[in-house]
Every structure is written in structure tokens, then in C-alpha cells.
């Protein structure tokens, strides 16, 4: 079998996880990289052994050697680059969030359908080994109907600056950047029920707190604390057609004593937690049991989840199988995210 020829567009912070995983996949060949910043693209090409370097993604897409692309650029470019790549006959793995608006998401979906190429959304949390284990148990009905989920991803200090804090390029703050991961994870675990309404709040109280010293945090490749037009905190209650609900809170900054990540789901026959540690809660012999699965990692394992995500993408491209995180799911998650911002702006519940 000929290896799938890969190009990575955007060679900033997260791209290293894609680049590294492609170089470890025997059925993929990292052929090209592209970034607006030529020096950054050249450095990535040298480090990971890519043959071609581009600064204009349109020139890259015209290269007939390329079969598939990873899009690791700013959120405001995801829809445009995805559509151009699909139209150029390339398969696409696009980082989360799919884009900034529901309209753009539907345009991407239409381009997927027209092109017959596949698009996988980078909902990397789905690809974690523990998440897959729990999903398989849910499929076997071991938790019964999952009717409530609760997720927090709170950074006390962690506004990545640069484009992340510029609403024009990011589409929003912690909600669209890190909240998207836990919202998608809960929704996926709940069996992807149709969202029907959202009631939410966003807060712009603390700013980016770039004055704080002696605590490091994730930063955009071009870190700049000058501009900050995104919320620093959001919370939301999402209702689904089947009566289930999801409660979520997220922050880039908050006067919390520490960072906090928790993902908990509750079903009729049992419940489970994914973050910070995988644990299953059930009842047997009139006794409540907390069960700790013996897997390689107790919590989310970033590197192996990315490797699984990339391996799955290559497998789908090779076999024509539909991805575990298809474009339709990217569209549904966009509806929820946009609904949350809309509800917060109105100060009222919105119907989706
Ligand atoms: N899956 C995850 O856990 C995860 C984690 C972090 C970031 N992300 C996502 O990955 C994407 C990139 O985030 P990052 O942290 O790497 O940001 P970054 O700022 O570090 O890197 C983005 C890069 O994209 C380049 N770029 C922007 N527009 C471009 C264009 N039109 N053509 C070519 N290059 C372009 C920039 O020059 C920059 O080098 C975002 O969508 C973000 O939401 C995902």
C-alpha cells in the first residue's frame, strides 16, 4: 500500500501533536507543511522531515501529491480552508472547533457531501482509551439511559493571548476553546441526543490578568496580551430532546484556588467520571460500588489520544470508513456553542 501523503496547515503550538503522530504512522508520509510564518513552517519541515514548505495554503492545495490535510490554524480560517481542501479533492482533519458560526458549519457539511471526501473534526477527547472503554460500556447499556452530565474546565489563569483572545479570529473565549472539548465529550457519551435549548451566562470581569507573575500557562505561538475581546468565564445548562441535561462551566481565568477539570455522567443503572480520573459507579447486591478500571492511564492521556485520532484518520482515508467524529457532529456542537453565546447575550433561554 502507498502511504497517504499528508500536509499540515498551521505549524503553531498544537501542530506538533499532529506532526509527531503522522511520523509515527507507517501508512502516512508527512509530505508538506504550511504556515503564514515561513520561519515557523521551515522549522517544522526540518524537524519532522517534510519535503515541501508553503506559506499560502491555496498553493499547497494545488499540489496533486497531497491526499489529506490537517488544519491547525486559527478558528476563523477553519471553514474556508476546509472547504477549499475538499474542493481540491483532499480529505480533511480539522482542529476543533469546526468553525465560528452555524452557517459556516453547514457550508462545510455541504462541501463534504459534494466532494465525497471525508472530514474528521479534531474532538480528541473521544479518542482517549478510557473514553472509548466507557463509550463501549454505554453502548452495551451498562449505565442505562444517561440523563445528567456535569463538566467543569476551569483555569484560574490561562488566557492563551494572541488570536485566542481576539474574538474575530477565535469566535470566543474559554467556551469555544476548552469548553468545546468537555461539551462534546459529554454529548458523545450521552449518545448524541438532539439539543433543544440553552440557558447560559458569560462574564468579562477579570480580563486576561497578564499582570500575574510566577505561574506559567498555555500560550499561542504569537503570544500577545494586548488585545482581549473574549469572555473570561461561561456557564450553561443545555437541554436535550430526550429530557437529558448537561451543566457546564469553563474559564480562562477565575479567582479559583486551583485549576479544575471534572467530567461526570449519571445514568439510570450507573454513572461514571472521566476527569480527573476514570471511575465507574454502580450498584450490586444492594451495595454501591466505585470501580477503578485498570488501564494505562487513570485520566486523559493527551499524546496517546492524539496518536489514536491521527491513526483513525489515516485508517478512514485508507478504507473509506466514516470517522468517529464526523462533520455532522461538528455542526451540532457549533449549534450548542453559538446558542450559549446567544443566550448569554440575551439574558434568556434560547431554543435551538
Ligand atoms: N485539540 C486540542 O486539544 C487543541 C489544543 C490547542 C489548540 N487547538 C486548536 O488548534 C488550532 C491552532 O491552535 P494553536 O494553539 O496551535 O495556535 P497557534 O497560534 O500556536 O498556531 C496557529 C498557527 O496557524 C498559523 N496560521 C493562521 N492562519 C493561517 C493560514 N491562513 N494559513 C497558514 N497558517 C496559518 C499561524 O501563523 C500559527 O503559526 C486552533 O483551532 C485551536 O482551537 C486544539
- Kindly give the distance from the C-alpha atom of residue 305 to the centroid of ligand 1, in angstroms, as a whole number: 18
- Mean pLDDT score, 286-312: 97
- Kindly give the distance from the C-alpha atom of residue 269 to the centroid of ligand 1, in angstroms, as a whole number: 41
Q: Name the band, by pLDDT with cuts 50, 70 and 90, for residue 140.
A: very high
- Kindly give the distance from the C-alpha atom of residue 237 to the centroid of ligand 1, in angstroms, as a whole number: 29
Cα distances (angstroms) measured from residue 227 to each of 99, 114, 216, 223, 239:
21, 39, 19, 10, 34
pLDDT score at 112: 98
**Residue bearing the CA closest to ligand 1, atom 34:** 35
- Kindly give the distance from the C-alpha atom of residue 349 to the centroid of ligand 1, in angstroms, as a whole number: 32
pLDDT score at 108: 98
187 lines ligand 1 (CB under 6 A): no
53 lines ligand 1 (CB under 6 A): no
35 lines ligand 1 (CB under 6 A): yes
DSSP letters for 283-329: EETTEEEEE----S-SS--HHHHHHHHHHHHHHHHHH-PPPSSBHHH
pLDDT score at 309: 98
Give the tens place of pLDDT for each residue, 220-242.
989 999 999 999 999 999 999 99
**Residue bearing the CA closest to ligand 1, atom 9:** 95
**Residue bearing the CA closest to ligand 1, atom 11:** 72
As a whole number of Å, the CA-based R_g of the chain is: 20
- Mean pLDDT score, 316-344: 98
- Mean pLDDT score, 176-197: 98
Q: To test the ligand 1 pocket, which listed residue (10, 37, 120, 308) has its Cβ within 8 A of the most ligand atoms?
A: 10
- Kindly give the distance from the C-alpha atom of residue 74 to the centroid of ligand 1, in angstroms, as a whole number: 5
17 lines ligand 1 (CB under 6 A): no
67 lines ligand 1 (CB under 6 A): no
Give the tens place of pLDDT for each residue, 260-276.
999 999 999 999 999 99
Least confident stretch, 75-89, 215-229, 267-281, 328-342: 215-229
Give the span between the Cα atoms of 126 and 312, in whole angstroms.
11
Give the span between the Cα atoms of 312 and 32, in whole angstroms.
20
- Kindly give the distance from the C-alpha atom of residue 96 to the centroid of ligand 1, in angstroms, as a whole number: 10
Which residue segments constitute the domains of the chain, with CATH numbers given? 4-123+306-325 (3.40.50.720), 126-300+333-351 (3.30.360.10)
pLDDT score at 165: 96
94 lines ligand 1 (CB under 6 A): no
The answer to whether 8 and 34 have CB atoms below 8 angstroms apart is yes
Q: Which residues pair with 261 in a beta bridge?
A: 153
12 lines ligand 1 (CB under 6 A): yes
Give the span between the Cα atoms of 67 and 61, in whole angstroms.
9
- Kindly give the distance from the C-alpha atom of residue 124 to the centroid of ligand 1, in angstroms, as a whole number: 15
Give the tens place of pLDDT for each residue, 206-222.
999 999 999 999 889 89
Q: Name the band, by pLDDT with cuts 50, 70 and 90, for residue 29.
A: very high
Strand residue runs (E) in 79-145? 91-95, 119-122
pLDDT score at 221: 86
Give the tens place of pLDDT for each residue, 45-61.
999 999 999 999 999 99
pLDDT score at 218: 86
pLDDT score at 1: 80
Q: Structure pTM? A: 0.97
Query: At what angle are helices 129-139 and 302-319 packed, to 10 degrees?
Result: 60
Q: Name the band, by pLDDT with cuts 50, 70 and 90, for residue 92.
A: very high
Amino acid at each position: 500500500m502507498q502511504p497517504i501523503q499528508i500536509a499540515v496547515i498551521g505549524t503553531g503550538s498544537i501542530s506538533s501533536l499532529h506532526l509527531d503522530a503522522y511520523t509515527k504512522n507507517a501508512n502516512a508520509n508527512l509530505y508538506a507543511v504550511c504556515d503564514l510564518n515561513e520561519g515557523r513552517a521551515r522549522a517544522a519541515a526540518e524537524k519532522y522531515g517534510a519535503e515541501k514548505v508553503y506559506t499560502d495554503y491555496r498553493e499547497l492545495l494545488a499540489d496533486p501529491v497531497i491526499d489529506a490535510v490537517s488544519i491547525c490554524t486559527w478558528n476563523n480560517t477553519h471553514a474556508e480552508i476546509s472547504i477549499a481542501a475538499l474542493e481540491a479533492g483532499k480529505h480533511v482533519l480539522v482542529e476543533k472547533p469546526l468553525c465560528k458560526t452555524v452557517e459556516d458549519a453547514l457550508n462545510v457539511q455541504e462541501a463534504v457531501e459534494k466532494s465525497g471526501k471525508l472530514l474528521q473534526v479534531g474532538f480528541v477527547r473521544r479518542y482517549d482509551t478510557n473514553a472509548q472503554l466507557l463509550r463501549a460500556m454505554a453502548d452495551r447499556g451498562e449505565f442505562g439511559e444517561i440523563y445528567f452530565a456535569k463538566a467543569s474546565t476551569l483555569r484560574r489563569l490561562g488566557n492563551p493571548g494572541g488570536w485566542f483572545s481576539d474574538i474575530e479570529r477565535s469566535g470566543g473565549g474559554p467556551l469555544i476553546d476548552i469548553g468545546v472539548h468537555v461539551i462534546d465529550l459529554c454529548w458523545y457519551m450521552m449518545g448524541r441526543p438532539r439539543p433543544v435549548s440553552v440557558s447560559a451566562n458569560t462574564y468579562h470581569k477579570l480580563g486576561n490578568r497578564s499582570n500575574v507573575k510566577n505561574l506559567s500557562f498555555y500560550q499561542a505561538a504569537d503570544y500577545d496580551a494586548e488585545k482581549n475581546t473574549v469572555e473570561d468565564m461561561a456557564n450553561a445548562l443545555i437541554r436535550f430532546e430526550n429530557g437529558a441535561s448537561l451543566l457546564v462551566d469553563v474559564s480562562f481565568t477565575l479567582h479559583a484556588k486551583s485549576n479544575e477539570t471534572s467530567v461526570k455522567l449519571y445514568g439510570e443503572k450507573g454513572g461514571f467520571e472521566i476527569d480527573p480520573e476514570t471511575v465507574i459507579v454502580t450498584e450490586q447486591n444492594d451495595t454501591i460500588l466505585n470501580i477503578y478500571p485498570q488501564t494505562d492511564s487513570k485520566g486523559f492521556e493527551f499524546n496517546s489520544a492524539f496518536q489514536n485520532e491521527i491513526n483513525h484518520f489515516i485508517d478512514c482515508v485508507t478504507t473509506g470508513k466514516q470517522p468517529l467524529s464526523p462533520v455532522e457532529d461538528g455542526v451540532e456542537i457549533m449549534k450548542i456553542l453559538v446558542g450559549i453565546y446567544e443566550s448569554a447575550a440575551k439574558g434568556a433561554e434560547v431554543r435551538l
